[in-house]
Amino acid sequence: MSEGRKQPQRTCLGCRQVKDQSELIRFVRSPDGEILADLKGRLPGRGAYLCNSRQCLEAAVSRQQFSRAFRCECQPADVAGLADKVAQELLKHLANLLGMARKSASFVAGSNAVLDALTHRKSLSIIALAEDISPQIGEKIRRKAQRQNVLTTELFDKMELGRILGRAERSVVGLPDGKLADAFIGDLRRYKDISGEI
């Protein structure tokens, strides 16, 4: 997008704030009335938009804003179910971004390699630790990352992280500074907001 070009703006169904469309989650109504999250913005039909927030989702559901936005009845919406669907889609997108890092060879994987990168002050933006990483190794990486102001998070287990990276089990992966890492961090924040994780 060229500099200075304005993004389309939409109103959140929950808080009624007007924001850039890219900051909101798009929802569509399926032919049978089911409310579907459209994270990629590619599904056909009229769109309704929400902030990436459980509070806005709860407000929209309690006030039946989806039926108003789509101008017809929708299947009863369940806040937890909708939030879980959005979270799962974001988790898939995070896995896809790690897969893209694998294809472009722009990642550092394995605890020794990540610790080495941190020791030599190589510019990592974010480190993803497996949820089942050894507590001692995880703490060592977190401490060193914190000293370097590198963000850390826990995602997937070692087997899944290895599968995404096309390798055997992996307990940790680091993404260097760049657009891929920025996209990963943005989607990670959205995932944590909608899933209710801190």
122-174 pLDDT tens trace: 789 999 999 999 999 999 999 999 999 999 999 999 999 999 998 889 999 99
* Closest to 173 measured CA to CA, from 185, 159, 161: 161
* Same domain assignment for residues 57 and 104: no
* Closest to 126 measured CA to CA, from 177, 90, 161: 177
**pTM of the predicted model as reported, rounded to 2 decimal places:** 0.82
Is residue 2 in a domain? no
How many domains, in total, are found in the chain? 2
* Same domain assignment for residues 63 and 99: no
Is residue 3 in a domain? no
* Same domain assignment for residues 156 and 73: no
pLDDT for position 78: 83
* Same domain assignment for residues 66 and 99: no
Q: Which of 47, 77, 107 is the last residue in one of the domains? A: 77
Given a contact cutoff of 8 angstroms between Cβ atoms, the answer to whether 125 and 76 are in contact is no
CATH code for position 27 = 3.30.1230.10
Q: Is the dihedral of CA 26, 30, 36, 37 positive or negative?
A: negative
Give the pair of three-digit tokens for residue 100. 């893209």
Range of the domain at 150: 88-195
Query: Which ranges constitute the DSSP H helices of the chain?
Result: 54-62, 65-70, 79-103, 111-119, 135-147, 158-164, 179-195
Give the pair of three-digit tokens for residue 148. 């370097």
